[in-house]
Structure 1
Amino acid sequence: MKSPIRIVLAGSCALGLLSAPTAAWAEQHRTAAAPKPTATAKPSAKPTAKPAAKPKPVDCTKVKCIALTFDDGPGKYADKLLATLKKHNAKATFFLEGQYVKSRPAFAKQMVDEGHDIGNHSYTHPRFTEISIDGIREELKKTQDIVKKVTGKYPTTIRPPYGLLDDDTKTVAAEMKMPIVLWNGGSRDWATRSEKAIYDEVLKNAKRDGVILMHDWVAQTVTVMPKLLTALQKQGYHVVAVSSLPGAKTLKPADVFPAGAAEDKDLSADSPTGDPDDFAESPADGS
């Protein structure tokens, strides 16, 4: 019979043998299960966005162009008109009155910032044929100054109010080194105040390299503009500023553009004459 002491020692040894591999396995399992540290990934540099490519200038010697021009502004609807022009990728020419540049400077600045042409249409819209040469000079100079102050740029062309042109106006234009821009097609928007009539009149007068007279203070003109631009573009026209038309870049001081416009006897029919009955609502009333 074995001694009790030996039995106890044998049991202890047996328990030790059983417990030793269990602890070793557990340690090994913990080591195997622990995730290996990984190198911290460096944040990737964000791709630099490429600046939007500027649209190529339209070459009107190769494609069909037309210039829409707007007198007496900035009118109170000019912001809506500018949004429409931008949406249709069209450029225009705005002949500004100094008094409205003063009262709506943000619109004038937006015209320049968005790449439209700006011209000088006097300060208070008098008939140049009925005031002195000093009066003409003062009207144009005041407008040059206020436009430069507001937009950072001077107007580069002159459109006399009502399209009335005489030798005194040409003399002042020569002094100021600016050409004179009239038109060869109208919209009669000031007279009809009808979207359909404006639309039909412009399409009737549309022609390659044409210069169309409109007004951005006529609400119906601004409202019909999306439809009108779509129709012109479907007919293959690129709607551009006057400066993009063939011959415009080579104009000299006091030159009249478009060719033959000064001799057009029907020219005045496209513009308000200034008589009270011509306006259902004058530009001043719409300010």
Structure 2
Amino acid sequence: MRVWALPLALLALVGCVTQSVPRRQQQSKTPVVPARPPVAVDPVVLAKKLVSMQAGWPRSRKFDCARLKCVALTFDDGPGEHTWRLLDMLSVRDVKATFFVVGQMVAADKGGHTVRRIVDDGHEIGNHSWSHPALTGLSHEALRRELEHTEEIVQRLTGVRMRVMRPPYGATNEEVAAETRREGLAQIMWNVDTMDWRDRVSSVVARRAGSAKPGSIILLHDIHRSTVDAVPEMLDTLGRKGYTFVTVSELYGRTPSPGRMYMAR
């Protein structure tokens, strides 16, 4: 098949599947996870994404973080109203990060434009549950829904199957580890906490991030204006120290193992 014909073939396939598969019955609402909101998917965008995924995702960048001073910036709880501005900042400096998204926030972003841009800009995207509960306090079924609902909406919007997750509040146990293993998700924690959710002062957030060591995973939240305001100073401080900014998977040189917990390299 000619290369230019492949996206057209994929579009035809998507159309056939859409017409032939009957609509699923609406799931009943639960206190933890509401019924899935309708998501409009552009078949052209999906076809292009499927083609690009043949070469792998995220786009491969090779770093030897055993020798380089690497640090992974991670942003939780979005996408929010400040995420697009953050993506602009990172794009200007060609910095890649890892975004742990909340399913409800993805659903609230009409059209999924922000989550699509996260993927299109080459950032790594991870599962941060559907409604941000402490996963350790849920039944097995509720735990499964929290992860699967977010997985499904992100995959429908972007074509990406997430491989990393972060349990809200860092709350995990053997049951959470077992479920993430079944879902094919590695548990990504952190070793630098900027406490940006508590202290909404950009200079304080930037100073705490600047204390990172080689191999650090830095915890941030892109839902806070003060955190996004701190990013330029944060990048300048770490850049002067010779750090290379990488995604979580790039930090380890591979996709982390499902179910396993990671705090730093």
Pairwise same-fold verdict (TM > 0.5): yes
Once the 2 structures are TM-superposed, how far is the Cα of residue 258 of structure 1 from its aligned partner?
2.5
Task: Name the count of aligned residue pairs.
Answer: 205
Equivalent residues of 2:249, 2:256 under 8 A apart = no
Select which of 66, 69, 78 maps to 1:64: 69
What's the counterpart of residue 123 of structure 1?
130
Once the 2 structures are TM-superposed, how far is the Cα of residue 252 of structure 1 from its aligned partner?
2.1
Moved more, 220-229 or 106-115: 220-229
Partners in 1 of 2:256 and 2:194 — Cα distance? Answer: 25
What's the counterpart of residue 192 of structure 2?
185
What's the counterpart of residue 251 of structure 2?
245
Offset from partner CA, 1:2-57 (integer Å, 9 cap, x none): xxxxxxxxxxxxxxxxxxxxxxxxxxxxxxxxxxxxxxxxxxxxxxxxxxxx9953
Offset from partner CA, 1:139-175 (integer Å, 9 cap, x none): 0000000001111112211111100001111111111
Q: Which has the larger radius of gyration?
A: 1
> SS of the counterpart of 1:191?
coil
What's the counterpart of residue 194 of structure 1?
201
Partners in 2 of 1:233 and 1:55 — Cα distance? Answer: 22
Alignment gaps of 5+ in structure 1 = 1-53, 261-287
RMSD between aligned alpha carbons?
Answer: 1.7
Partners in 2 of 1:161 and 1:140 — Cα distance? Answer: 11
What's the counterpart of residue 222 of structure 2?
216
Once the 2 structures are TM-superposed, how far is the Cα of residue 228 of structure 1 from its aligned partner?
1.2
Q: TM-score, normalised by structure 1?
A: 0.68
- Is 1:158 the counterpart of 2:165? The answer is yes
> SS of the counterpart of 1:58?
coil
Alignment gaps of 5+ in structure 2 = 1-58
- Structure 1: which 4+ aligned runs deviate by more than 6 Å? none
Equivalent residues of 2:61, 2:250 under 8 A apart = no
- Is 1:227 the counterpart of 2:238? The answer is no
Partners in 2 of 1:107 and 1:59 — Cα distance? Answer: 30
Identity %: 37
What amino acid is the match of 1:78?
T
Partners in 1 of 2:170 and 2:94 — Cα distance? Answer: 28
Distance 1:112 1:56, change over 3 A: closer
Partners in 2 of 1:56 and 1:249 — Cα distance? Answer: 11
Offset from partner CA, 1:159-202 (integer Å, 9 cap, x none): 11100001111111111122111111111111010011111111
What's the counterpart of residue 81 of structure 1?
86
Distance 1:249 1:231, change over 3 A: same
Partners in 2 of 1:175 and 1:252 — Cα distance? Answer: 11
> SS of the counterpart of 1:220?
helix
What's the counterpart of residue 174 of structure 1?
181
Partners in 1 of 2:65 and 2:257 — Cα distance? Answer: 20
What amino acid is the match of 1:239?
F
Q: TM-score, normalised by structure 2?
A: 0.74
Partners in 1 of 2:79 and 2:154 — Cα distance? Answer: 11
Partners in 2 of 1:90 and 1:115 — Cα distance? Answer: 9
Equivalent residues of 2:164, 2:256 under 8 A apart = no
Partners in 2 of 1:224 and 1:256 — Cα distance? Answer: 28
Partners in 1 of 2:158 and 2:196 — Cα distance? Answer: 27
Once the 2 structures are TM-superposed, how far is the Cα of residue 88 of structure 1 from its aligned partner?
1.2
- Is 1:141 the counterpart of 2:148? The answer is yes
What's the counterpart of residue 107 of structure 2?
102
The correspondence of residues 261-280 of structure 1 with structure 2, limited to 5 A, is none
Partners in 1 of 2:156 and 2:75 — Cα distance? Answer: 21
> SS of the counterpart of 2:217?
strand
What amino acid is the match of 2:177?
K
